[in-house]
Amino acid sequence: RPLNKFMLFRQEMYPKFIKETKVYDHRQLSRIVAGAWSALGIEGQKVWADRADALQREHQLLYPDYTFKPRPKGDKQKRK
């Protein structure tokens, strides 16, 4: 399943923020990345939305019959 616009942003920016901030706690890094995402504004986020749309189209071409079917929460425990 292709990543959404925020997850693409987070995937690319996470290593950069680790280098810049020297923070390794994922909770703090997630807050930093979320703040940077909000600071981008609509125009900045549009770049990531376009990339996510391109990935979505590519995924659709590669897997035309794919449909997302989330499992109910209880399924995970039943399989164990």
Report d(CA 78, CA 29) in Å as an integer.
34
Q: Does the predicted TM-score (pTM) go above 0.85?
A: no
- Domain regions of the chain by residue span: 5-79
CATH number of this structure's domain 5-79: 1.10.30
pLDDT band at residue 79, thresholds of 50, 70 and 90? Answer: low
User: Would you list the DSSP string of 40-76?
Assistant: HHHHHHHHHHHHHHHHHHHHHHH-TT----PPPTHHH
Average pLDDT over residues 40-56: 96
In angstroms, rounded to a whole number, what is the distance separating the alpha carbons of residues 63 and 38? 32
pLDDT band at 80 (very low <50, low <70, confident <90, very high): low
Q: What pLDDT sits at residue 78?
A: 61
Strand, helix or coil for residue 68: coil
